[in-house]
Structure 1
């Protein structure tokens, strides 16, 4: 029998019980869709971070804490670090040194969370985030040094409900006047609030301490070598953009593993429904299989037929699961675009292929026992059954 005839026969067998087939495929669809949505979060965040780090940020970032403790470290760096880097500038080809102090405000309502990013007013926001421009008001200028003024990202301004001239409360005792709101860029800067360095240090009791020092090199291709020299000479953590990307990859890899683990429960349930449906089909067609054996069908043909039915169910559930996962990722992106201006989920061709592949593997495993049972039927034993 030709392969297409086998698939056609398997399809006819499944459509004999359309409700059962539909419910089985639906269960597998939900399982595959949940896995697709979980893993799409990792794919989307990879793309977002890669895009951000390739276009903005320093060539080398010097901090006291390792990347594993966070991408936005708290102010623990000695104040003399920036001066030490300036002294090394002629030797290492350092073009600019930008001290940064960061404070995070976390809230149960994500829209009320904030990232306060303090940097020298005389360098301005463009020192680290090229291409930003003010949609309303202005950016930081040298005369803003030590003044309580703030420039809000577009999403941050909308989430906090603030405009130019409004008062932004940094803490219970400190506030700043909003002097500018950035034009939307669909990037992480949309969620930041930029202030003069001294303003952040005073508002959050950091003293003269820094979170990190951003280093711009005359020759960016030497970033890895310079980072190694800085780590040895200063005894601090010096990371390049590629180091940050590798850390993000490891972090998201762990997240993917956790998401896949959570999805295994629903995948297991979906696989059991396939086993149940195919097994019931074998039991209901025992006399039919006996007749086929009597007409000359070999046990291998019956095993292949049952496995094909199982794979067909898995293909239907997997394909529909990917489509449902696309809808779920779209819903996630609607939320994250509204909150932070980024697409946090992405169903890539690789992820879609993985989802369908897992579904087919599940279908194959689910069909092994029913196929074995069908292949062991004898003509006399099958025809004697009622």
Structure 2
């Protein structure tokens, strides 16, 4: 007989349906409760996603400033003249494993003129450099007008002007039709392109770039580079810098000067740590605010539903079943708020990043952490209201209505 008086054990599905009953019956209240939770979760997504997108944009900008770019030049001789590197030095540097790209230019010591009527000694302060076709890619430079040197044009008398060189020579752009010409030495060269400013290499801005083979054929160039540009994987940039001198000039490493990594690299690494600490602080604040909202909602729910609690207790529901019902409802509310908050947060982050022309970046753990955090916070916030509901006696609950 005693066994017949025991309350029915609820399965997890029964408990889930019972917890969802209050949400289905009071849809407006549930929607408003979930909205409060979703705002907290959306805030956590936004305050992690927007700074992450901003950080990625900043990191990309710092990378373009040359955090992984090295420049090797010959050490000055005592007589004041610069030496050139061995002709095979570029190929040797390219064999270094962390190096992703390498190119070179060489000073031809020729003079460029706008016309053959100008004094042959007046080069307008410009330098004529022999260039390889991959210079543009390695320096991450862009063409403002026309095109850059390629495998075909490097064998012909064609040139590309740096931004300053184009201004001094009077070429704002490469016009359609027959290209304009300049005189280098005694040879007429056709201008096929003009570069945008290259902040990483201001010497390129003041240069007239001729093809490597073209310089050999008409300017007496020997094929020995005077400046080597190297891009390497950023974590290995210091190691690459250390092995460049003996690689370029095995017999005289001291004759090679290599620029230090850009100060932007140090700024980049410091920024990464700063943003990481900011993400953690903002996420914790948003999570605490969301938890307070859940707890407040569930306490009010218990007070509003005392009649329901008293009736269920009078019909034989145990304290554990009442506690499980309200705890399940709290977790469901938090879960619904977490899902909607993730959607709102992702949409807000995407819209803000695109409006500022940033890459859209959502931290890998942001969404799982938000959903998991919502469920945990819902359970913690619903613990006290559920225990309070379970402690109500049938008579006390019904008399308080």
Q: What TM-score, normalized to structure 2?
A: 0.56
The answer on 1:329 being equivalent to 2:349 is yes
Matches within 5 A, 1:242-321: 251-252=271-272, 254-321=274-341
Among 97, 114, 135, the residue aligned to 1:127: 135
Q: Which residue of 1 aligns with 2:377?
A: 362
Q: Which residue of 2 aligns with 1:382?
A: 397
Among 363, 366, 374, the residue aligned to 1:351: 366
Structure 1 unmatched runs, 5+ = 64-80, 100-118, 151-162, 167-178, 183-191, 203-212, 338-342
Is residue 29–residue 321 contact of structure 1 (8 Å, CA) maintained in 2?
yes
The answer on 1:194 being equivalent to 2:185 is no
Offset at residue 293 of structure 1 (A): 3.0
Offset at residue 16 of structure 1 (A): 3.3
Among 139, 146, 161, the residue aligned to 1:144: 161
Is residue 137–residue 181 contact of structure 1 (8 Å, CA) maintained in 2?
yes
Q: Which residue of 2 aligns with 1:30?
A: 39
In structure 1, C-alpha distance between the alignment counterparts of 2:27 and 2:74, rounded to whole Å: 75
Q: What TM-score, normalized to structure 1?
A: 0.58
In structure 2, C-alpha distance between the alignment counterparts of 1:120 and 1:357, rounded to whole Å: 63
Is residue 44–residue 370 contact of structure 2 (8 Å, CA) maintained in 1?
yes
Q: Which residue of 2 aligns with 1:82?
A: 73
Is residue 42–residue 252 contact of structure 1 (8 Å, CA) maintained in 2?
no
Q: Which residue of 1 aligns with 2:20?
A: 11
Q: Which residue of 2 aligns with 1:102?
A: none
Among 237, 240, 250, the residue aligned to 1:226: 240
Is residue 318–residue 355 contact of structure 1 (8 Å, CA) maintained in 2?
yes
Report Cα offsets for 1:34-92 as digits up to 9, x if no partner. 221232245556777999999x99895459xxxxxxxxxxxxxxxxx632598799699
Offset at residue 363 of structure 1 (A): 1.5
The 3 A distance-change label for structure 1 pair 224 and 331 is: same
Offset at residue 358 of structure 1 (A): 2.0
In structure 1, C-alpha distance between the alignment counterparts of 2:90 and 2:296, rounded to whole Å: 72
The 3 A distance-change label for structure 1 pair 214 and 90 is: closer
The 3 A distance-change label for structure 1 pair 226 and 269 is: closer
Which has the larger displacement, 265-274 or 42-51? 42-51
Matches within 5 A, 1:92-241: 93-95=92-94, 96=102, 122-123=130-131, 126-127=134-135, 129=137, 134=143, 136-139=145-148, 144=161, 147-149=164-166, 164=173, 193-194=197-198, 197-198=202-203, 214-216=229-231, 225-229=239-243, 237-238=260-261
Q: Which residue of 2 aligns with 1:40?
A: 49
Q: Which residue of 1 aligns with 2:180?
A: none
Is residue 62–residue 236 contact of structure 1 (8 Å, CA) maintained in 2?
yes
Structure 2 unmatched runs, 5+ = 1-9, 77-83, 95-101, 106-126, 150-157, 176-191, 208-227, 246-253
In structure 1, C-alpha distance between the alignment counterparts of 2:338 and 2:54, rounded to whole Å: 24
In structure 2, C-alpha distance between the alignment counterparts of 1:197 and 1:321, rounded to whole Å: 49
Q: Which residue of 2 aligns with 1:74?
A: none
Is residue 28–residue 314 contact of structure 1 (8 Å, CA) maintained in 2?
yes
User: Match of 1:82, SS?
Assistant: strand
Is residue 53–residue 361 contact of structure 2 (8 Å, CA) maintained in 1?
yes
The 3 A distance-change label for structure 1 pair 164 and 353 is: farther
Say how many residue pairs are matched.
297
Offset at residue 142 of structure 1 (A): 5.6
In structure 2, C-alpha distance between the alignment counterparts of 1:16 and 1:121, rounded to whole Å: 80
In structure 2, C-alpha distance between the alignment counterparts of 1:31 and 1:329, rounded to whole Å: 14
Offset at residue 13 of structure 1 (A): 1.0
State the Cα RMSD in Å: 5.1
